[in-house]
Structure 1
Amino acid sequence: MPEALLKQLGEVFEDALVSCEEALGEITIEIGKDDLLSVMTRLRDHDDLAFEQLIDLTVVDYLTYGQDEWATTEATSSGFSRGQESSQQQRQVWQRERFAVVYHLLSISRNQRLRVKCFVKENRTTIPSVISIWASANWYEREAFDLFGILFTGHPDLRRIMTDYGFVGHPFRKDFPLIGNVELRFDAKQNRCVYEPVSIEPRVLVPRVIRKQKDETIYVAAPEGGSKDA
């Protein structure tokens, strides 16, 4: 199945595909922003493809791609093996655009799925809306705009959908603080809700796990900097 779809995609789109690859039984194609609408329309309408449904749309922020949360030579940087072996990996530097808009398509008639990836620049986060192709993109694109700041040109009602009225910033961006910028409380004297600068102390929330074998005891360092036996 994946091999047949790979062949069909190559024959139909040829040079329009930036990349086309199969991994773990799933196919991902990358296309340029200028070709988005034409490629998506053919993916829906071509008899051999027939991707009738857009089942999901999301965004990936590659701002900190390849960077470790903790600066330590005693813990690996990723996966469940983190902290068991010394990390010899060098930090990777992301060389491409910061954001990728990702579309997940489903063909009911052909019983096949496809992931489509399209990159947008950080200083120009605009991309055409696909509402005219799949109406289900409406709320997905509003969510992507709200949480990542992606502007979908041609969207009929591009408003925030997840955050509060007057919210500043896009909370799913990697450079947005986890504790936020403001906090909300009810002021009894004013008899209304008021916004104030956030009072939570910022800290790294990813656990720092450092396991050392000593008399068959494993020591795990907690995020606060303390340690405990595991």
Structure 2
Amino acid sequence: MSKLDTLKAALESVLGDAVVEIRNQFDELTLTVGHQDYIKVAKLLRDHSALRFEQLIDLSGVDYSAYKDIGQDGPRFAVVSHLLSVNKNWRLRLKVFCPDDELPQVASVTALWSAANWYERETFDMYGILFNGHEDLRRILTDYGFIGHPMRKDFPLSGHVEMRYDAEQKRVVYQPVTIEPREITPRVIREENYGGL
């Protein structure tokens, strides 16, 4: 039995009905759970002696609205975490979908893994996903007055507003974007003896 088969069996045994799906892709397991079981599962993943995922390596949002150019049936937003068990020497990807596309939210895991703090703030900033129970959920990469969430697939490429210094007002002002969208195709120039041929 391979290490992934052992991990899959342990996950199925410990988590039972909380498992929505376990998928083996690229020699890694992805565990999908329902939003209602997210914290319970995360706590079991961290604390159960058969699993022992002590470290959260990464956490991010995913917008499935145009997934593989075909879209996704079901919820639009998901939160994906990468976990590491130093004790058992295995890794796991944990995925949970937000039940509401208009106001995407899931529970915060900062009480379980303190490393989730800034990852959840970044996911909120970039995708607009709220983390219930996060003690300091505010923007981390964009300005506090920024409008929208730039990693959403429906966010305009040029943004909504731009800022510039106004000499008359002697301060920075926001204004609608004035950049005209255009497509730039690079011109390739090859010299006669390019590459020594």
TM-score (norm: length of structure 2): 0.89
**Contact between 1:107 and 1:113, CA under 8 Å: does it hold in 2?**
yes
- 1:229, 1:100 → 2: CA distance? 44
Segments of 5+ residues of structure 1 without an aligned counterpart are: 68-91, 204-222
Pick one of 176, 179, 197 that aligns with 1:200: 179
- 1:200, 1:43 → 2: CA distance? 48
Counterpart of 1:100 in structure 2: which amino acid? A
Secondary structure at 1:175 match in 2: coil
In the other structure, the counterpart of 1:44 is 46
2:146 corresponds to 1:167: yes
In the other structure, the counterpart of 2:11 is 9
Secondary structure at 2:75 match in 1: coil
1:224 to partner: Cα distance: 3.9
**How many residues end up aligned between the 2 structures?**
187
Q: Which runs of 4+ in 1 moved over 3 A?
A: 223-230
Aligned-pair RMSD on alpha carbons?
Answer: 1.7
Segments of 5+ residues of structure 2 without an aligned counterpart are: 191-197
- 2:186, 2:26 → 1: CA distance? 39
State percent identity of aligned pairs: 51
2:167 corresponds to 1:188: yes
2:76 corresponds to 1:98: yes
2:109 corresponds to 1:109: no
- 2:51, 2:63 → 1: CA distance? 29
Deviations, residues 34-79 of structure 1 (Å, cap 9, x unaligned): 0001100000001111000111100110112232xxxxxxxxxxxx
- When residues 61 and 93 of structure 1 are mapped into structure 2, their CA distance, relative to the original with a 3 A threshold, is closer
**Contact between 2:65 and 2:71, CA under 8 Å: does it hold in 1?**
no
Counterpart of 1:154 in structure 2: which amino acid? G
**Contact between 2:64 and 2:71, CA under 8 Å: does it hold in 1?**
no
TM-score (norm: length of structure 1): 0.77
**Contact between 1:6 and 1:21, CA under 8 Å: does it hold in 2?**
no
